[in-house]
Amino acid sequence: MVTALRSRPRVIRLFVVVLALMFAATAFAFSTVDSASAQSLSSAKSSAPTVDTTPTPAPGSTAPTTAAQSIGIWIRIAADKSNVPNAKVTVTGPSGFSTTVVSGADGRATVPIEKTGTYKVLLDKSTIPAGLSVLGDNPRDVQVDAENQGVPAYYLLGDGAAGATPAPGKTSSPSTSSGNTPTFAEVVFPRIATGLIYGLLIALASIGVSLIYGTTGLNNFAHGELVTFGGLVGYVVSGVMHMPSWLGILSALVFGGIFGYLQDLGLWKPLRKRGIGLIPLMIVSIGLSLALRYIFNFIFGPDLLVTPSDSSSFLTLGPVHLRFWDVVSPIICIVVLLLVAFAMLRTRIGKATRAVADNRSLAAATGINVERVIRIVWVAGGALAGLSGALIGYYQPVSWETGASILLLIFAAVTLGGFGSAFGALVGSLIIGLLIDLSTSYGFIPSNLKLVAALAVMIVILLFRPQGILGRKDRIG
């Protein structure tokens, strides 16, 4: 690695340093806001708490129950995020279900639920500390589907007017005016917002897949693990070591790049030298994916890991409530994507990359160092995937299999946009992101099938336009 850096100092340094500098600048501007809350554990563990209708089992809050379902109750004071013990909560539901629990020393209580359905959770105001009122709805309706353990019913207590701050968790879904049917805008706009955010996060990773495919012909099935790696680096730096979040994101970017570089140096470059075909290489990548995934599991365990972040509403645009990171992540994504676009179109190395993707032999014949281009693509792909992973850590909890589940979305996005086209990857990602969130509105399809919608669209696209939206026909052969 040292010799390689010495022999090609300019390009690698330029690429990493430019990305890093720009990044530090953007992230630093925001770091003061959220580092204050870095210690507090996010109560909103499901993805995009402002709109998500899928109750995701919350890590840590789920006491093991024998029932198939359970509701996890967590009561905290909004100001200092301290837990409120001895608060009485009554849960009523279908077929006369009624039970009362008292929160423990950690402010939590778990209610086992035998039957699925909508349950009403009521926090008894007389049992909470004096002078505080419940933020958000009380009582609130909680939807329990089959197998949902620890469906969140989280309460924040504050001294402001009730409802001034939307309480986090699923229960603060856009229909804050409980009782009324949400309007079309209230249902669709938040989904468009989260869909675009998620699409941008996927786009960062997709561009790496597309570039690696374009320059080497390899479909990297281990790319999801680069995303997981970034998410875990971000978690370790910000969540475990309690460093500010800009540092976590920056480390994910840098270490992701290093990881990509080492993968190319240690595995893919020697295999290219051996002249191993593309199909065996793809099988190597699934082996690598399996090994890496379970190495992450071995080190970090099977649980969801929550990077601490501020989950209160940061920006409200009509019916759309956005958390701090829902605003910052897309800005970072857009800046980085613009930078990548600039690098691809205007710099020498970007032109060389496109030349290699276009025709490798011709590029080599014109004096382009193909191996160097591929190495830079691996570094950039790894860095972008790492960045994507770290930002995903602020969007939803990461775990050892985050990347494995995102990988198929990445492939769907890249197929949709057109293999080997970086801009196609961006367009495809945004479409996939929107599709995932919009397909579940109004119960078109059950929310656990939202990934299925994206994958099904990919198959349909292959039927009618196999080269994708921006791809070229000669690649599909």
Partner 1 sequence: MDFNFIPLAFGEIVSPLTIGYALAALGLAVHFGFTGLLNFGQAGFMAVGGYAFAITTVKFGWPLGWALVATVVGAVLFALLLGIPTLRLRADYLSIVTIAAAEIVRYTVKTPSISQYTGGSDGINGASRDFYAMNPLPDIQYGFGVLTYNNNQLWSILVGWTVVIIAAVLVWQLMRSPWGRVIKGIREDEDAVRSLGKNVTWYKMQSLILGGVLGGLGTVLIIIPTSLQPDNYGTQTTFFLYTIVLLGGATTVLGPIIGSIIFWVVLQLSDGILTLLVNNHLLPLSSVQQGPIRFIIVGIALMLLVIFRPQGIFGKKREAHFSG
Which positions lie near partner 1, rule CB under 8 A?
A: 116, 145-147, 219, 221, 271, 274, 276-280, 282-284, 286-295, 297-298, 301-302, 404, 408, 411-412, 415, 446, 448-449, 451-452, 455-456, 458-459, 462-463, 466, 475-477
Q: Which helix (H) or strand (E) holds 156?
A: strand 151-158
Q: Considering the complex, what minimum distance in angstroms separates the CB of residue 415 from partner 1? A: 6
Residue with Cβ nearer partner 1 (136 or 403): 403
Q: Considering the complex, what minimum distance in angstroms separates the CB of residue 469 from partner 1? A: 15
Closest by CA position to 374, among listed 196, 214, 224 = 214
Q: Considering the complex, what minimum distance in angstroms separates the CB of residue 320 from partner 1? A: 28
Residue with Cβ nearer partner 1 (113 or 193): 113
Residue with Cβ nearer partner 1 (265 or 335): 265
Q: Considering the complex, what minimum distance in angstroms separates the CB of residue 277 from partner 1? A: 5
Q: Considering the complex, what minimum distance in angstroms separates the CB of residue 370 from partner 1? A: 20
Pairing of strands 117-123, 88-93: antiparallel
Quick one: tokens of 344?
Answer: 């691809």
Residue with Cβ nearer partner 1 (94 or 280): 280
Closest by CA position to 158, among listed 132, 138, 137, 139 = 132
Give CA–CA dist 103/85, Å, rounded.
5
Residue with Cβ nearer partner 1 (57 or 168): 57
| Residue recorded with tokens 């080497």 | 216
Q: Considering the complex, what minimum distance in angstroms separates the CB of residue 447 from partner 1? A: 10
Q: How far is CA 420 from CA 213, 383, 461, in A?
A: 6, 18, 16
Q: What is the amino acid identity at position 324?
A: F
- In sequence order, the 6+-apart residues with CB closer than 8 A to the CB of 167 are 135, 136, 137, 154, 155, 156
Q: Considering the complex, what minimum distance in angstroms separates the CB of residue 57 from partner 1? A: 12
Residue with Cβ nearer partner 1 (114 or 124): 114
Q: Considering the complex, what minimum distance in angstroms separates the CB of residue 214 from partner 1? A: 13
| Residue recorded with tokens 């786009």 | 203
User: Which value, to the nearest 10 degrees, does the dihedral of the CA atoms of residues 93, 96, 97, 101 take?
Assistant: 100
Q: What is the amino acid identity at position 119?
A: Y
Instruction: Name the DSSP class of 441.
Output: G
Three-state DSSP at 336 gives: helix
Which residues lie across from 117 on neighbouring strands?
144
Chain Cα centroid distance, residue 206: 13
Residue with Cβ nearer partner 1 (351 or 465): 465
Residue with Cβ nearer partner 1 (316 or 448): 448
